[in-house]
Structure 1
Amino acid sequence: MTFSLDEMPGIQALERTMPDIPMKPGRPVKREFEYIRHGTQALIASLNVASGQIAKATVDNTRTEKDLEAHVSGLLEENNAAKKYHLVMDCLNTHQSEAMVRLASALEEEQIELGAKGKRGILKSMVTRAEFLTNPSHRLVVHFTPKHCSWLNQIELWFSILVRKLLRRASFKSQAQLKRRILEFVEYFNHTMAKPFKWTYRGKPLVA
């Protein structure tokens, strides 16, 4: 199974101080520019590339290494019948963390000596951890997008849908409401809109 994963931190729970004035013939919707800020939430989402559905979405206050570990661990558990997992992610430091290495090594039939973080072995540095995570012989293989090219990750397309369909025009009275609305949108998207993304970029140079 192939999953496209990334985080969307700092999603603001903004409440408009006045309701929108509805559109009518010859006049678009009018929105109040002043708002009340109720804090932020962080979204971690994994897209099933084959189906186009969001396989797992986690909304919480932070997006730490532990948050990512819990998300990926749940993703693997919910799809434990898969013989092999491919995760497409950018080069964020938490994506090359000790937690990710331990998750990958736990899927292997034989126990692997990982060493100690910052000292020796596979866990010694971000470079050694990335080499382990990208090993194609493992059951869990991570594919890192090139530096400054995270836009190649398909989950970014879904994030843009989330912004356009929900976040840009909505008003949220609390962080809890923002979290609930995001998860409700994920369920709605999976049932009514999801389909595999069709790539149109053919690898041609973008400049002459």
Structure 2
Amino acid sequence: MRSKIVLECATGISNSEVSRRLRVSLPTVGKWRSRFIDKRLDGLVDEPRPGRPATIGVDQVEQVIVDTLESTPANATHWSRASMAEKSGLSKSTVGRIWKAFGLKPHLEEGFKLSTDPLFTEKVYDIVGLYVNPLESAVVLSVDEKSQVQALQRSQPTLPMMPGTPERRAPDYVRHGTTSLFAALNVADGTVISSIHRRHRAVEFKKFLAKIDKTVPEHLDVHVICDNYATHKHPRFHMHFTPTYSSWINQVERLFAEVAWELLQRSDHRSVQALEKDLRNWVKALNEDPQQFIWTKTAEEILASIARYLKRINGAGH
């Protein structure tokens, strides 16, 4: 980071602009710029600190990092602080500090799946263009369905939150059936057109598109962002398909995350009808005070980020 600060300053831009670009504080930029001017490269080195010298060598730290990234324990899928401490001869707390310093969390994992769509780049440019360059005389709708929403009844009554005690819910529940929420998010203003169907076949999706057609004023074209299963043809509809395995680019997924967090995660419904009523009320309340999701990434930034990630994982031998 110190080197990046100096290199950015060398382009002639101001300290505040360097601070904005690198997302570091203005005093930090000023400090390392001044130290480099005064002492050149020596100014970027840490000054000697008081106290007992470090007893853990750089080679030991490096070995912990290498072992963490490139190996696994004999009888486990990932390292723990205890197993790494046993292998390295360091204490568990020292292993923990090394992992924290280098941003390593062996106990965590995240799922991912890279798109194999041959038209990935074209589709990204197409959809992001709709987000950042609004169309005239047209409405852009981000469309999808949240299928298999379960009506779950907790096996015991929920205990309310009290001072010093969080809300407590029974971990088991009774299933009372499922429903599906179809939603079309207007990317310009955050309003939602929705329908609820017990089934989620192509025929239900076609009915939902017919509802969109009736709801959107006739003088407007309709641009629909959706996945490839939507094959409905309509003179007003311009279909824009998301790349395979790329639901993250469809803004309506953000809406589904909101309804899951605000309504479904702690839901307690004794029937599908009760669940559907709450879903309708949730959408109604949202439309009374809609909030637009602001898309900030350009297509170029998205593609560059993916390229950097591919370079990283290829460099790691995957």
Whether TM-score is above 0.5 comes out as: yes
For residues 38-57 of structure 1, the aligned pairs below 5 Å read: 38-54=176-192, 56-57=193-194
Contact 1:20/1:32 (CA < 8 Å) preserved in 2?
Answer: yes
Q: Which residue of 2 aligns with 1:133?
A: none
2 CA distance for matches of 1:148 and 1:142? Answer: 18
For residues 120-199 of structure 1, the aligned pairs below 5 Å read: 139-192=236-289, 194-199=290-295
Q: Aligned Cα RMSD in Å? A: 1.3
Contact 1:86/1:141 (CA < 8 Å) preserved in 2?
Answer: yes
Alignment size in residue pairs: 166
Contact 1:14/1:171 (CA < 8 Å) preserved in 2?
Answer: yes
Secondary structure at 1:23 match in 2: coil
Contact 1:4/1:155 (CA < 8 Å) preserved in 2?
Answer: yes
Q: Which residue of 2 aligns with 1:67?
A: 204
Specify the structure having the higher radius of gyration (Cα): 2
For residues 43-122 of structure 1, the aligned pairs below 5 Å read: 43-54=181-192, 56-92=193-229, 95-96=230-231, 100-101=232-233, 104=234, 107=235
Q: Taking structure 2 as the reference length, what is the TM-score of the superposition?
A: 0.50
Name the amino acid aligned to 1:172.
H
2 CA distance for matches of 1:174 and 1:79? Answer: 32
Gaps of 5+ in 2: 1-138, 313-318
Contact 1:9/1:42 (CA < 8 Å) preserved in 2?
Answer: yes
Once structures 1 and 2 are overlaid, which stretch shifts more, 82-91 or 141-150? 82-91
Secondary structure at 2:171 match in 1: coil
Gaps of 5+ in 1: 108-138
Contact 1:60/1:179 (CA < 8 Å) preserved in 2?
Answer: no
Give CA deviations for 1:22-70 in whole Å, capped at 9, x if unaligned. Answer: 112221111111211101001111111111011x211121011111111
More helix by share: 2
Q: Taking structure 1 as the reference length, what is the TM-score of the superposition?
A: 0.76
1 CA distance for matches of 2:219 and 2:258? Answer: 28
Contact 1:4/1:46 (CA < 8 Å) preserved in 2?
Answer: yes
2 CA distance for matches of 1:176 and 1:63? Answer: 17
1 CA distance for matches of 2:198 and 2:286? Answer: 23
Q: Which residue of 1 aligns with 2:67?
A: none
2 CA distance for matches of 1:18 and 1:164? Answer: 21
1 CA distance for matches of 2:296 and 2:209? Answer: 29
